[in-house]
Structure 1
Amino acid sequence: MIITLSRAGGHHMRASWRKAAIAAVSVLALAGCRHDNSAEAAAASCEPGPAAIAHRGGTERAMENTLGAFTAAGDAGVKVWEIDVHFDVRGTPVVLHDDTVDRVSPASGPIARLDAGDGIPTDDGQRIPTLREVYDLAGRHQAQVLTEFKTVPTAKQWSAVAAQIDATIGRRAVTLMSFDRAVVLEAARRIPDTQLALVHATGDLTPEEIKQYGGAINKHHSSIIYSRAKKWHDAGIRVYAWTVDKETDWERLSVLPIDGFVTNRPIEYTRWAAERCKSKDSAN
């Protein structure tokens, strides 16, 4: 099944989640429970749950943010990927979480001082990929890509990102996001027609605050409760939860109006979600 994160797709997904939300509230009322994010709020029938979003491609088959990880996710049918972007010494966008390569490579040093064209190795025998390589791969798998900037791009670097999007999967398949609100606003100006999202850790935001930075929020899972998720969804905002790796959290959060789980275990989560639906259908 292809998960579409466009505005139109978000509308249909929200309609489904409204039904689930009503059922969840009914269960809570019958149980006399005041905890609005309880797993006991699960609806009687199995509604489509949050989409699997491969966090850095996932780490189930290969090292994070490598072509091997994204290939494994894509081959397993995971249609939404999350990646991190830095820039090498030539200004080439590369897919890497940290500002140094030390944690994932036998090489060392800041990526801004290294040349990805030289083939920077990873600890599992691959190499740190360029953004274009990952976008090319995403295109072959018909995947959409949540692209998080881990640094503030220069004008030249913004142009390089835009050119690589346009040469590969196209702007409608890309969501540009950052913790840095100024970066999200600059993304809107530099690369229009892409989706935008604000990455946010703890605390609450109003729908109006979120919408200044696009149509989605990528929120730390520990800070998502039913009332917040419903408030955002009712305002037409897509909600992603990161990083959701434990089955207890999958169960707890699956009953909330959340569009996607950003997880290091996208393949296992997909299997778990299918089994959960099968169990619910059998019970009914």
Structure 2
Amino acid sequence: MLRIAHRGASGEAPENTLAAVGRAIERGAAWVEVDVQACVDGLVVIHDRTLERTTDGRGPVAGHTLAALRALDAGGGERIPLPHEMLALCRDRCGLNLELKGPGVASGLLVILNQALTDGWRAQDLLASSFDWGQLRELHGALPRVPLGVLTEQVDVAACAIARELDAAVIGCALATVDAAAVTAAHQAGCRLWVFTVNATADFERMAALGVDGVFTDHADYR
């Protein structure tokens, strides 16, 4: 069962930073997940729509320029990263799952992913995921080579239908909703099932027993 580093090694370093992702790679992560949001003039790697929880800034990410966001402290002196910095750090070292958070990310991410593929990234080492299935449709229509992850609270008929429509590689769902039927439904839709967020030993064991393909975790050891 694959362990995906959730926002990097977020249990050890400030989440969604280069330090957290570097730490996850050091700990043996085969895959890392980070979040991408749109700001006034580009894309940044950050989870929340507002700045207060993870930085020393205030207000909505979407209302700030790249320059203003890059001047903030994202924890321990880390800066808010850019997607291309994450790609550079992870290339030939681990797979990278970029989660589209909030509106307006797909168009900018298309440019970045196209460049990554030109620069030598293998499509199978990338995953673009989102709860916003409209943005996944946009990505798939313009760049069908990049695998997609359909995010949902539970593996239901709608999630499986969009996964089939988009030829998604992964369905990602919440830990609390996972049972044997969810695993079967995801596999019948032609997808791996990745579950968020799994940190307790008992939950790891239950997911493994159910045949889940991967779990997002904040744990430091990803082997």
TM range (shorter): 0.7 to 0.9
Distance 1:155 1:257, change over 3 A: closer
Q: Distance in 1 between matches of 2:105 and 2:202?
A: 41
Give me the TM-score of the superposition, normalised by structure 2.
0.88
- CA distance in structure 1 between the partners assigned to 2:65 and 2:109 by the alignment: 18
Residue in structure 1 matching 2:20, options 60, 66, 69: 69
Any unmatched runs of 5+ in structure 2? none
1:106 corresponds to: 56
Structure 1 residue matching 2:149: 3-state secondary structure: strand
- Structure with max Cα Rg: 1
Query: Which shifted more, 73-82 or 229-238?
Result: 229-238
Q: How much is the aligned-residue C-alpha RMSD, in angstroms?
A: 2.1
Distance 1:54 1:98, change over 3 A: same
- 1:178-217 equivalence runs, <5 A: 178-202=130-154, 204-205=156-157, 207-213=160-166, 214-217=168-171
Identify the structure with the greater strand proportion: 2
8 Å CA contact 2:30–2:222 kept in 1: the answer is no
The match for 2:6 among 37, 50, 55 is 55
Letter in 2 for 1:193: R
Q: Secondary structure at the match of 1:146?
A: strand
2:99 paired residue among 148, 155, 169: 148
CA contact (8 A) 2:31 2:95 kept: yes
In structure 1, give the amino acid aligned to 2:7: R
SS in structure 2 of the partner of residue 255 of structure 1:
helix
* TM-score normalized with structure 1 length: 0.70
Change (3 A) 1:163 1:111: farther
Matches within 5 A, 1:86-165: 86-91=37-42, 93-117=43-67, 118-141=70-93, 143-153=94-104, 157-165=108-116
Q: Is the 8 A contact 1:233 1:257 kept in 2?
A: no
SS of the equivalent of 1:82 reads strand
Alpha-carbon contact 1:215-1:238 (below 8 Å) kept = yes
- Judging changes above 3 Å, is the alpha-carbon distance between structure 1 residues 235 and 202 closer, same or farther for their aligned structure 2 residues? closer
Report Cα offsets for 1:192-238 as digits up to 9, x if no partner: 20001110003623744431232320011111111220232244311
Determine if contact 2:28/2:221 at 8 Å carries over to the other structure. Answer: no
Distance 2:205 2:183 in 1: 16
Cα 1:99–1:164 change in 2 (3 A) is: farther
Pair 1:245–1:155, CA change in 2 (3 A): closer
* Contact 2:150 2:172 (C-alpha < 8 Å) held by counterparts: yes
Aligned pairs, number: 218
Tell me the secondary structure at the aligned position of residue 210 of structure 2. coil
> Aligned-pair distance for 1:163?
4.1
Q: Which has the larger helix fraction?
A: 1
Conserved? CA contact 1:132–1:168, under 8 Å:
no
CA shift for structure 1 position 158: 4.1
Q: Specify which of 79, 100, 115 is matched with residue 30 of structure 2.
A: 79
1:155 CA displacement: 7.3
Identity between Structure 1 and Structure 2 (%): 27
- Give the unaligned 5+ runs of structure 1: 1-49, 271-284
